[in-house]
Amino acid sequence: MDKRLLEILVCPLCKSPLHLDAEKHELICRADRLAYTIRDDVPVMLVDEARKLNADEVL
């Protein structure tokens, strides 16, 4: 994923910065404990499609 894009993307729910989990192809919002998937190098920034993280998954 392009570093410049990662720098400007924020969580659509709380506007917190997102963190890349390259192994899982997800952008992580630590504040809301959500993971936004990346499909074909395009982040899916829909709250309804985000995966909820367990406490041990938050980086």
Looking at every residue in the chain, the average pLDDT score rounds to 92
- The pLDDT > 90 percentage for the chain reads 78
Closest C-alpha among 37, 42, 38 to residue 52: 37
Model confidence, pTM: 0.90
What's the pLDDT at 58? 74
* Residue 45 half-sphere exposure toward CB, CA atoms < 13 A: 16
What's the pLDDT at 39? 94
pLDDT tens for each residue of 32-50: 999 999 999 899 999 999 9
Categorize the per-residue pLDDT at 59 as very low, low, confident or very high, splitting at 50, 70 and 90: low
